[in-house]
Amino acid sequence: DLAQRMNERVADVVKYMMRQGEMMRANDIIDADTAELIAEEFGHTVKRVSESDVEIGLEGDEDDPKDMKPRAPIVTVMGHVDHGKTSLLDALRSTDVVAGEAGGITQHIGAYQVQLESGDKITFLDTPGHAAFSAMRARGANVTDIVILVVAADDGVMPQTIEAIKHAKAAEVPIIVAVNKCDKPDADPDKVLTELLQHDIQVEAMGGEVQAVKVSATARTGLDELTEAISLQAELLELKANPDRPADGIVVESQLDKGRGPVATVLINRGTLQRGEIVVAGKQWGKVRALINERGQQLKDAGPAVPVEILGLDGAPEPGDMFNVVDSEARAREITDYRNRMERQKTGVASARASLESLMNSMKDDKEVSELPLVVKADVQGSVEAIKQSVEGISTDEVRANVIYGAAGGISESDILLAKSSNAPVFAFNVRANKQARELAEKEGVEIRYYSVIYNLIDDVKDTLSGMLAPEK
């Protein structure tokens, strides 16, 4: 793209990057700074229109402090297995006062919101355990404002309790301790609090600042104290978000539902999501056909910290994926295409590096060797590897085939551009080229050969290699 816009040859741009020590292929994605450098190096004047042509302001646009409104805290329950995380999440649903009029919390959608008697609202992530928490953190999604650390009073601090503390501390999320199972005759809550001291959790009763509440999930005691503690903590955190802007947020859960298609539960970070809007969620996109809450009700819109199921996506995104409202279907396609390409690039980059390096080495070692560069596209990565190995195996000392790029998937325009830049044919195994790629190949004079039998492909490579030898004989 950059080469085309500069009216330069793709190969020259790639070569320039290689001289800078950047192993790069023609269809690699570069950041704006690099693009600017290259453009200037080629004698062009750069005017930045936006940070990137694709990833437009999806992040980084700060809200004006005056637009910020208070929002509900988002709470995750963590703790050792069998200490009562699930039971507590179940019990906390009963603290909801809206249940009567609007119908109770009937659905498991990965998160739910309760309204307390005081009017305060709390959003609970209904996916107990550290796996969900750290999976989201690994994706850069810090969804949780407060961690409830559940410790069974009859069991005390256990390995996963310690793990949970570490996770919460790493995420810099405040902890509230829920000492659970206090109904049990052998419960010893004070012992739990003492044990926690050894792990840097100093509760208020011990002169520290961490709130601790004695509860019983099954006997439903201490729940009001626990929600009060959450409200207090939330107040200290001064949680706010701008509700009057296009929504963004995080995917909490997703599934492919037989009747309803892809369903994703999202938590709105900021803004208000409206039915009918176009959203991008990770690598999926769609027009929001319905918004459904944990009570099974259809909503017209959903604001910050509200969990909702969205229907209408073209696939199931992954938990921890960001979602954003965008202004057109074209834009949504552009962003998801870009993300898919980024992913393919990530998976293909290791092998491409290696083959580029071997290409460079062979050029350095032995200037006499003729080179047949190839672009290989196949249905699965396994085929790509098999073809690469066979093809590079049949190379002779005088002529060698070199798979400069091999990847799974159909042939796209960027494959053609890459092939063009290296004067390579494209060998396709059980995949086709899309219309744009076919037209581009025609225009650029890039040969595409299709195969469904690996041996035919290898034979053709052999023939081509001997063809390269022929003139010298």
**Of residues 34, 86, 142, 255, which one binds ligand GDP by CB under 6 A?**
86
Contact flag: residue 214 with ligand GDP (CB under 6 A): no
Contact flag: residue 184 with ligand GDP (CB under 6 A): yes
And the tokens for 205? Answer: 């009763």
And the tokens for 137? Answer: 């953190």
Write the CB contacts of 179 (distance below 8 Å, at least 6 apart in sequence): 151, 153, 189, 192, 193, 212, 213, 214, 215
Measured from the Cβ of residue 405, the count of other Cβ atoms closer than 10 Å reads 26
**Contact map string, positions 96 to 135, toward ligand GDP, x by CB under 6 A:** --------------------------------x-------
Q: What is the Cα–Cα distance from 178 to 229, expressed in whole angstroms?
A: 10
The residue type found at 188 is: D
Q: Does residue 374 sit in helix, strand or coil?
A: strand
Using the contact rule CB under 6 A, the part of the chain among 178-186, 223-231, 381-389, 462-470 near ligand GDP is 178-186
Which among 306, 267, 81, 76 is positioned nearest to 175, based on CA atoms? 76
Contact flag: residue 192 with ligand GDP (CB under 6 A): no
Contact flag: residue 406 with ligand GDP (CB under 6 A): no
CB of 151: closest distance to ligand GDP in angstroms? 10
To the question of whether residue 84 is assigned a binding role by annotation, the answer is: yes
CB nearer to ligand GDP: pick between 176 and 418: 176
CA within 13 Å, CB half, 17 = 23
**Of residues 8, 51, 63, 183, which one binds ligand GDP by CB under 6 A?**
183
And the tokens for 243? Answer: 């509700």
Contact flag: residue 217 with ligand GDP (CB under 6 A): yes
To the question of whether residue 126 is assigned a binding role by annotation, the answer is: yes
CB nearer to ligand GDP: pick between 222 and 286: 222
And the tokens for 59? Answer: 């992040």
Contact flag: residue 218 with ligand GDP (CB under 6 A): yes
To the question of whether residue 181 is assigned a binding role by annotation, the answer is: yes
To the question of whether residue 301 is assigned a binding role by annotation, the answer is: no
Measured CA angle at 467 (ends 464, 470), to 5 deg: 160
CB of 85: closest distance to ligand GDP in angstroms? 3
Tokens 């004006």, located at residue: 64
Write the CB contacts of 461 (distance below 8 Å, at least 6 apart in sequence): 372, 374, 391, 394, 401, 427
Q: What is the Cα–Cα distance from 191 to 158, expressed in whole angstroms?
A: 13
Contact flag: residue 160 with ligand GDP (CB under 6 A): no
CB of 157: closest distance to ligand GDP in angstroms? 14
Write the CB contacts of 126 (distance below 8 Å, at least 6 apart in sequence): 89, 108, 109, 110, 111, 112
Task: Tell me, by CB under 6 A, how many residues bind ligand GDP.
Answer: 16
CB nearer to ligand GDP: pick between 182 and 356: 182
CB nearer to ligand GDP: pick between 221 and 430: 221
Contact flag: residue 85 with ligand GDP (CB under 6 A): yes
List residues near ligand GDP by CB under 6 A: 79, 81-87, 128, 180-181, 183-184, 216-218
Residues in binding site for GTP: 79-86, 126-130, 180-183
